[in-house]
Structure 1
């Protein structure tokens, strides 16, 4: 550890290597293709290769080959070990100095009483996937959660295929509209307990941190809006996205949120994002 930790810190001291690490952390537990990493960060392939090789040598990320594609993911055990070592080493005899409330407390910073928990779902256009998530969770557990959705680059209106699916499943679409995440980032915005990205590109963006330190996770799904073909093929893609999100909302709504500590809750929501009807995010 005496040499491993300084090497890891030195590796993360480079701004671009840190940017790669942070993007993979936002996408955890996904394995992200090298081409997507390079595009998201505006890096040439050979430059990205240099950065990911340094991070792998430091033990902070792992690599997997899928066909002709190289994919990368955070090595969470090594990352946790690094920060645990720093906290334990710097706080010898004074654990109260370093023990952050974010790790020991339940969700958010407010008391865990009978209040409702604020949840935000984010995708790029806020016209289909995040709208599905908002609608499904509101109907499943609107008595326990206040649910919002937003987009990093919202469309001007909801996708018609998404509206059709929601109406067929009995959801009220009159209360829905695309919204920009900036609507929720001001001082008057709600304090979120949970923030989930359901779109890879939204998760790749380096957005400002949310007040209150909400539990966050990436539940990426293939974008049904991009499916080409007949109307029947497009409709099928939207129904599949809806079904995958419904399964996740059922699993999330079943969590005993008020009784879980933050680390257990984080592990649970990460697990929900990793188990999907679609298989690994593309």
Structure 2
């Protein structure tokens, strides 16, 4: 029974990833991939924040807080992947620069497809990973659904608007199923996150990542907030793909991915709530 549930958990991850990418693709026209490139300085700072400074931050955290190998791998995988669609919901709530948020997410997601498989040999020098296999998995599970959804949005925009909420709901449901199943099947591994410094490392990672993005996102306060959230909320889909392909027997890896992603959502929701209150007060004055 446990084996069947584990297989269903792995299948749920795949459904979550594909439905998330399809939903993302159905939200944007192809031109929205190109528009953000106009501000090259801001894009370069965004790339530096997500693909240079966050991995460097992760290295520092792991030197200060030694973690079990599986937990460390999970944190590294989250550090190496950027471009979470959940960021858009928060940006919409706080009424920040939505155009920049969309472009940022698309660019970070695209760069992740190239950066993640190439960087793991440097970020995880003591562990053997198949970079080609990772690249193919990312292409099939992330890029193709994203591209397919975008093509459908461009060709049949009305149909895309109709089916997008369905894929969005499927994504949310299966993310919940993934968390529930992995908590139930591997609760001891999740408890280990709280008892070995993993939770502290995850919290420092999320807060410091937000600070890095915020500081590099200027001069506009709107873009600072967007980049802060875009840097703090990592690409769990890409991390899941790599974890399934290379570390499926190490449940601590999946535990750390889920903990970091969940914690980033909670912390960013608290921050966005505070920003939303301040925005409302300024509008009332």
Q: From the two aligned structures, give the one with the greater strand fraction.
A: 1
TM-score by length of 2: 0.30
Q: From the two aligned structures, give the one with the greater helix fraction.
A: 2
TM-score by length of 1: 0.30
